[in-house]
Structure 1
């Protein structure tokens, strides 16, 4: 599954429900029709209807709906819920102004959680679990999502055997900061893929740091950027097909011609 920024950054209307990747089969999309959703106007919103300046665009509330996988052999169902507001859509026709109102839905919860990108089979289980936590947090709280992405970077450093602690001058064991560990990774791992990952890891660390500040200026775009960088880091460090093609290229450059023996088995052909 390719990383899709659009599906993460947009609210939607019932006339065009997005198709998120099914959390079970990882192939087809889960989506819904208008009748699969229930719109609930809040009590506070209803109380404003009697106000002399009330307009339909002031309506707010919540929604819940059911999404179903398009693959009949799968049929997984996902419950989605979140916030509802009404937007006015205006247009002019032959000098006359017209308008209509549309319910706009912003998802906050998916059960089971949907995957924002594919997690490869080669990803260690601890890292995979932390990524899934990030997916859930993304819809609900930006600061939590930023901290979760930072945690994934820490687990990647653990998996790559980057030293975690040291003994200070008083003989006490202390932990290295994530910044220092990423620096160690950049100095110890000299491969092209590792060096590319190094810069992305450091960038995500800054997003994570901002998430911990009380008055942070973190935006949804920042978290989406962090997720996209994380997706590429996983490709660089864990995708065997990605690594295989680079190794293949190096071998041809080394031989400066055809290879005498196949570098990989026929399953890659």
Structure 2
């Protein structure tokens, strides 16, 4: 999947009636669908209190949301939690609710590699650890992506000299797209979701070269 396509599928704010078909953590098919009966949103106490304030508008609303998704291909179930709000539509008068996922359990895959048997277990596990914080902590996700790349390097050893410079290439690529502190101290940089997705697309390209799929991934 290209970075541009990932920007659409893994966008931050989602309308309930137009949620994308997210990829299934179990089989990889882009077939996760929200079970509407399981989806619940409640307005926060702070948001309810704000309604009594002067100047309140519907876009001040804040929700907490949860729900379940089921894969249309394999039938597996994924839990989701997040927050939400309301935003003005094109006419500037009508408001529509949206929700913003903050976690999925299990974490949604952001590469296709974990569905290839040739990928070493250590690399698969490192990728899983990188997927989990994407929705809530892009900075932590960026750090975990570097660990996944290191796991790839360790798994290849001396068999592929091209990977020796891949870590530096990855760091340079990410640092040109987002501001990071020179000392690399966690929690002091700013990581944008779009840049993180480009990083995963880059990782997936390397993984596809190192561990070619035996057949086309499920759509």
- Normalising by structure 2, what TM-score? 0.82
In the alignment, structure 2 segments of 5+ residues that lack a partner are none
1:80-229 correspondence runs (5 A): 80-91=80-91, 99-119=93-113, 120-162=116-158, 189=161, 194=162, 201-206=167-172, 207=174, 210=180, 212-213=184-185, 214-229=187-202
Give me the whole-angstrom Cα distance separating, in 1, the residues matched to 2:24 and 2:81: 16
| Paired positions, count | 203
- Identify the range of structure 1 (40-49 vs 20-29) with the bigger mean alpha-carbon deviation: 20-29
Q: Please tell me whether the aligned partners of residues 86 and 102 of structure 1 are also in contact (alpha carbons under 8 angstroms).
A: yes
Q: Which has the larger radius of gyration?
A: 1
2:79 paired residue number:
79
- Note the residue ranges of structure 1 that are not aligned, 5 or more in a row: 92-97, 163-184, 243-269
Q: CA deviation at 1:150?
A: 0.4
Flag the 1:240–1:57 CA change in 2: closer, same or farther, 3 A. closer
For 2:142 and 2:80, how far apart are their aligned partners in 1? 22
Instruction: Please provide the CA RMSD for this pair.
Output: 2.5
Q: Distance in 1 between matches of 2:27 and 2:208?
A: 20
- Check conservation: 2:138, 2:192, Cα contact below 8 A: yes
1:68 is matched with which residue?
70
Distance 1:138 1:69 in 2: 21
Aligned with 1:157: secondary structure? helix
The verdict on how the C-alpha distance between 1:200 and 1:31 changes in structure 2, with shifts beyond 3 A counting, is farther
Give CA deviations for 1:18-46 in whole Å, capped at 9, x if unaligned.
Answer: 11112222225111154331111110000
Given that 1:12 and 1:106 are in contact with CA atoms closer than 8 Å, whether structure 2 keeps it comes out as: yes
What are the residue-to-residue correspondences of 1:35-74 with 2, within 5 Å?
35-71=37-73, 74=74
Q: Does 1:15 align with 2:9?
A: no
8 Å Cα contact 2:35-2:70 kept in structure 1: no
Note the alpha carbon deviations across 1:66-124, whole angstroms, 9 max, x for none: 111113xx321111111111111132xxxxxx621111111111112221221222111
- Of 237, 252, 260, which residue of structure 1 is paired with 2:210? 237
How far has the Cα of 1:217 moved from its partner? 3.0
Give the number of the structure whose residues are more often strand, by fraction: 1
Q: Residues of 2 paired with 1:143 and 1:216: CA distance? A: 7
Q: How far apart, CA to CA, are the structure 1 residues paired with 2:23 and 2:141?
A: 20
Higher mean Cα deviation, 118-127 or 200-209? 200-209
